[in-house]
A = this chain, B = another copy of it.
Amino acid sequence: MRFSRYFSPTLKDDPSDAQIASHKLMLRAGMVRQSAAGIYSWLPLGFRVLQNVERIVREEQDRAGCQELLMPTIQSADLWRESGRYDAYGEEMLRIRDRHQRDLLFGPTNEELITEIVRGSVKSYRELPKLLYHIQWKFRDEIRPRFGVMRGREFLMKDSYSFDLDFAGARRAYNKMFIAYLRTFARMGLKAIPMRADSGAIGGDMSHEFIILAETGESKVYCHRDLLGFDALKETPDYDGDLQPAVDRWTGLYAATDDKHDPAAAAKLGDALVQARGIEVGHIFYFGTKYSKPMNATVTGPKGEPILLEMGSYGIGVSRLVGAIIEAYHDAAGIKWPESVAPFKVGIVNLKPGDAACDRVCEDLYAKLAASGVETLYDDRDERPGVKFADMDLIGLPWQLVVGPRGVKSGTVELKKRATGEKHELAVEAVLAQIVA
Contact = CB atoms under 8 A, between A and B. Distances in A.
Interface stretch (A40-48, A183-191, A261-269): A40-48
Interface string A14-37: 000000000000000010010111
Interface stretch (A113-121, A192-200, A294-302): A113-121
Interface stretch (A71-79, A351-359, A412-420): A71-79
Given A30-B121, A104-B36, A154 B74 contact: yes
A374 to B, nearest CB: 17
Most chain B beta carbons < 10 A, residue from A46, A50, A96, A143: A96
Contacts of A44: 67-69, 132
Contacts of A117: 33, 35, 41, 43
Contact of A36 (B5, B9, B75): B75
B35 A141 contact: no
A122 B8 CA distance: 10
Contacts of A99: 91-92, 141, 143
A98 interface: yes
Interface in A121-150: 121-122, 130, 132, 137, 139, 141, 143
Number of copies: 2
B7 A72 contact: no
A94 interface: yes
A166 to B, nearest CB: 18
A113 B99 CA distance: 24
A41 B72 contact: yes
Given A47-B69, A67-B6, A121-B9, A74 B139 contact: yes
Interface string A59-101: 0000001011111111110000000000000011010101100
A97 to B, nearest CB: 9
Contact of A137 (B5, B33, B72, B102): B72
Interface residues of A, number: 52
Contacts of A154: 72-74
- Secondary structure class of chain A's binding surface, majority of residues: mixed
Given A6-B67, A7-B130, A35 B72 contact: yes
A65 B43 CA distance: 15
Nearest to A129: B5
A39 interface: yes
Contacts of A92: 99
A41 B67 contact: no
Given A30-B121, A69-B47, A74 B39 contact: yes
Contact of A106 (B30, B47, B74, B153): B74
Contact of A42 (B33, B65, B70): B70
B75 A113 contact: no
Contacts of A33: 117, 120-121
28 contacts: A5-B65, A7-B67, A7-B69, A7-B122, A7-B130, A7-B132, A9-B121, A35-B75, A35-B113, A35-B116, A35-B117, A36-B72, A36-B74, A36-B75, A36-B104, A37-B102, A39-B75, A43-B69, A43-B117, A43-B121, A44-B132, A47-B69, A72-B154, A74-B94, A74-B106, A74-B153, A99-B141, A99-B143
Closest 9 CB pairs of A and B: A9-B121, A36-B76, A42-B70, A91-B99, A41-B71, A72-B154, A39-B72, A44-B67, A99-B141
